[in-house]
Structure 1
C-alpha cells in the first residue's frame, strides 16, 4: 500500500516562513501558484507541471502563494470542493503511465494553503499520449528543472532510460537468485492472462471470468470490502518466506493508450472484452481513425450491437465514429491515396512501390526519405483484399509506424490512412453484412 504523503507531511521540514513569506525560491521540487484552477480549464499547463514532477523526483505545487513566496491563502473554496477523480481522469486521458498525486489543504500562519503533491513515477518516462493544446503535444516528455517545467533534454532522458534498464537488470538478478535458492524443481509460473499456473507437477486453472474480478492482495494488507470478489482456498496452506512471494502486475489493458490502440492491430490479438473497450476508447480520442473494424471483429459484435454501444457512450467523438461507419459502408475505397495509373512521375513511383508490396519484398524503412516513404504508404492504400497478405502487410505497417509515425502531422495522417485502408478492406465487409 502506497504511503500517504499528506499524513507524514510537516511543512516546516520543507521551507521556512518569515513575515508571511516563504524564504525559498521555486526549485526542481516546488512550484508556487496564486490560485487553483479545475483540470478541465483550457490552459493545460497544470498537466505539464504534474508530468514534469513525476518524471523527476516528484514535487509540490503550492496554491495561495505569490511568485515571490508571499502567503495570500486560497481566495475561494474551489480546491476544497474539488473531486480528485476529475484530475485523475484528465491525467489518464493525456498521459501514460498513470501519475499518482495527493491534493490537500494545510494552514500556515493563519492562511489556508493548498498542496498538490506529485509522486515520483515508478515507471518513467511519463509520456503525453494525446494532444491537449500548445502546452501538451502527443509524444511530449516533460521534466522538472530548477524553477521551470519544460521538455526533457537528451541527457536527462538518457539517464531515465539507463535507470530503468538498471532496475530491470536488478530485478532479473534477484529473480535468478530466488530461483537458485528455491530450486528450479519447486518453481511455478502463473500466466496472469489465462490463469494457468505452470509447474513441474501441477497446474491450477482460474476461469477467465473470475480471473478478471479477483484482486490479489499482498501479504499483510488484506482489507475486507463490500461486494469485493473472494477466492476461497480449500486445503493445506504452508507458510512461506515473504521474500519468495511473487508480486502480480495489473491486467495488460487496465489503461488503454494511443499505443495499445495501434499495437493490438499489429499483433492481431485481442480478447473479446478488451476489443469492446478498445472500440469505446476510440470515441474518447482526438481522432477516430484507428483500426475499429478489427476491434469489432474481435469483439464478435453485430452491427446492431455496435451502434447500441455507441449510443450509450457519452463522449464528443461518438457522432464522428457513426459518421465514419456510415461513409465507409457506402465507400470502401475512401482511404485510397494518390493515382497509380496516370503515368506521371509520382504515379510511376507509387506503382513501383505497389509492385514490391504485392510480391512481398523485404523493405528497409529505417533511413528512407519522407517523399519515398509516402509513395509506399499510398501504394498500401491501393491493395485489394485478394492482394493483401496479412502477416506481411502488418509487418510493413508496424515498421513504418514505429520508425516514422511521430515525424510530422502530415506523415502521421498518411500512416493512419494506410492502416485504416487495410482494416476496412480486411474486416469492414464482415461488419457491414453481419447484423444477425
Structure 2
C-alpha cells in the first residue's frame, strides 16, 4: 500500500507541507550508515502511525530541488530488509517509490503503522541506535520514546489483546465449546478432538482473516463456507502440513544455498531450525515410514544472511564435527 505525496508550493516556490509526526524531508539519499538512520526514522514512524521520508527537499527554506545523485535508484531493497531484520525486533511493511515533479526526481520511502508494538532495537550501531531502545516519531524528530507515549502504546496493545480474547470467548460461548474446532493457519490443520483435518492449500489461500476484531461483514470481505462431508479424520501422528507452507526438502535447501549435505546439516543444527514451526516441519506418509524434513521458503534468506557473516560456515562445521564426535564417544561408552 503506497502513500501518496503531493508536492504543493507557495508563491515563493517553497513547499507548503512541513515535517510532522508522519513526514520527514531529506536533501539527498545516501548509502552506508545513512541507511541505518533512515531505518531508524521508519521504525519510529511504524511505532507511531506510519509515515514517509521524502528525498529531494532542501531545508530552510523548504525547496523542492530534486535529488542530485543516483544513490536512490542504486539502493538494493534487499539490503534495507536485511538491516531491518538485523537491528530491529519486527519486520516493517514498507515501500520505495520515485516521484517526478517539474522535470525533477524525488524519492519516497513509506512505512505502515506496525501491527505489533513496540518495535525494539536489537543491537547497537555506533552512536546511531542503541540496543533495547524504542524509537518513536514525534513532530519533526525521531528519538527514544518517552514514558507517556510508551505507557499509552503498551496499554493499547493490552487492550487489543484483551478484546481479541473476549471476542473469541464470546463466540465460543455462543457456539458451545464442544462444537468449536481450531484452525492452524500456518500448518493448514483443523483440530477435531484427538485428530486433525487437513485444509487444502487452495482453500487455505482463499481464507480471509478478521483483523483487529472487526467482523468481515463490516468491510464486505468474502467469508469461507465449508460445504460437504468430512469422510475421515487424519490421525495426529501422520498429519501432513500443506506443501505451500513447507515446500522445500533438505536437498532443495542445498541447491538454493550452494551447500553440500554435510554443510547444510551443520548450518541447520547451528541455527536450531528443527522444531521451529516457522521454518521446519516433519512429515510421514504412514505410521511405518521414516520422517522427512521439510522447510519453508522464508528460511532461505535467513541462512543466506548468516552465510554472509565472516567465518559463520567455518564455525558451524567445527561445532557440528565436535557434536558428532561427542555423540560417538557416548555410544562407545555404552
Decide whether aligned partners of structure 1 residues 200 and 113 sit closer, same or farther in structure 2, where only a CA change above 3 A counts. same
Equivalent residue in structure 2 for 1:78, among 58, 66, 71: 71
1:25 matches 2:18: yes
Equivalent residue in structure 1 for 2:155, among 159, 162, 185: 162
Decide whether aligned partners of structure 1 residues 201 and 278 sit closer, same or farther in structure 2, where only a CA change above 3 A counts. closer
In the other structure, the counterpart of 2:270 is: 279
Tell me the alpha carbon deviations over residues 389-431 of structure 1, each in whole angstroms, 9 at most, x when there is no partner. Answer: xxxxxxxxxxxxxxxxxxxxxxxxxxxxxxxxxxx9xx99338
In the other structure, the counterpart of 1:362 is: none
CA distance in 2, matches of 1:29, 1:327: 47
In the other structure, the counterpart of 2:165 is: 172
1:117 matches 2:110: yes
CA distance in 1, matches of 2:328, 2:131: 31
- By how many angstroms is 1:70 displaced? 1.0
Decide whether aligned partners of structure 1 residues 275 and 26 sit closer, same or farther in structure 2, where only a CA change above 3 A counts. farther
Decide whether aligned partners of structure 1 residues 169 and 326 sit closer, same or farther in structure 2, where only a CA change above 3 A counts. closer
In the other structure, the counterpart of 2:183 is: 190
Equivalent residue in structure 2 for 1:11, among 2, 6, 11: 6
Decide whether aligned partners of structure 1 residues 276 and 214 sit closer, same or farther in structure 2, where only a CA change above 3 A counts. farther
1:63 matches 2:58: no
Runs of 4+ more than 6 Å apart: 310-313, 327-330, 431-434
Check whether the contact 1:185–1:200 (CA below 8 A) recurs between aligned residues.
no
Decide whether aligned partners of structure 1 residues 32 and 428 sit closer, same or farther in structure 2, where only a CA change above 3 A counts. farther
CA distance in 1, matches of 2:135, 2:309: 27
In the other structure, the counterpart of 2:95 is: 102
- By how many angstroms is 1:163 displaced? 0.6
Decide whether aligned partners of structure 1 residues 17 and 187 sit closer, same or farther in structure 2, where only a CA change above 3 A counts. farther
In the other structure, the counterpart of 1:430 is: 327
Tell me the alpha carbon deviations over residues 184-209 of structure 1, each in whole angstroms, 9 at most, x when there is no partner. Answer: 33310134576652235963157xxx
Indicate the SS of the match to 1:5: coil
CA distance in 1, matches of 2:43, 2:317: 36
Runs of 5+ consecutive residues of structure 1 not aligned to the other structure: 221-233, 239-250, 252-272, 283-309, 331-423
Check whether the contact 1:20–1:109 (CA below 8 A) recurs between aligned residues.
no
- By how many angstroms is 1:74 displaced? 1.4
In the other structure, the counterpart of 1:227 is: none
CA distance in 2, matches of 1:138, 1:18: 46
- By how many angstroms is 1:148 displaced? 0.9
CA distance in 2, matches of 1:26, 1:125: 23
Indicate the SS of the match to 1:166: helix
- By how many angstroms is 1:130 displaced? 2.7
Check whether the contact 2:36–2:83 (CA below 8 A) recurs between aligned residues.
no
TM-score relative to the length of structure 2? 0.62
Tell me the alpha carbon deviations over residues 277-309 of structure 1, each in whole angstroms, 9 at most, x when there is no partner. Answer: 572599xxxxxxxxxxxxxxxxxxxxxxxxxxx
1:146 matches 2:135: no
- By how many angstroms is 1:136 displaced? 1.5
Runs of 5+ consecutive residues of structure 2 not aligned to the other structure: 210-225, 231-244, 246-263, 274-302
CA distance in 2, matches of 1:274, 1:182: 47
Structure with the bigger percentage of helix: 1
- By how many angstroms is 1:114 displaced? 1.1
User: Aligned-residue CA RMSD in angstroms?
Assistant: 4.3
Of 132-141 and 97-106, the range deviating more from structure 2: 132-141
Decide whether aligned partners of structure 1 residues 81 and 326 sit closer, same or farther in structure 2, where only a CA change above 3 A counts. closer
CA distance in 2, matches of 1:311, 1:117: 26
In the other structure, the counterpart of 2:207 is: 218
CA distance in 2, matches of 1:190, 1:130: 36
- By how many angstroms is 1:101 displaced? 0.9
TM-score relative to the length of structure 1? 0.49
Indicate the SS of the match to 1:52: helix
Aligned ranges for residues 214-363 of structure 1 at < 5 Å? Answer: 216-219=205-208, 236=228, 277=268, 279-280=270-271, 314-317=307-310, 319=311, 322=314
In the other structure, the counterpart of 2:119 is: 126
Indicate the SS of the match to 1:96: coil
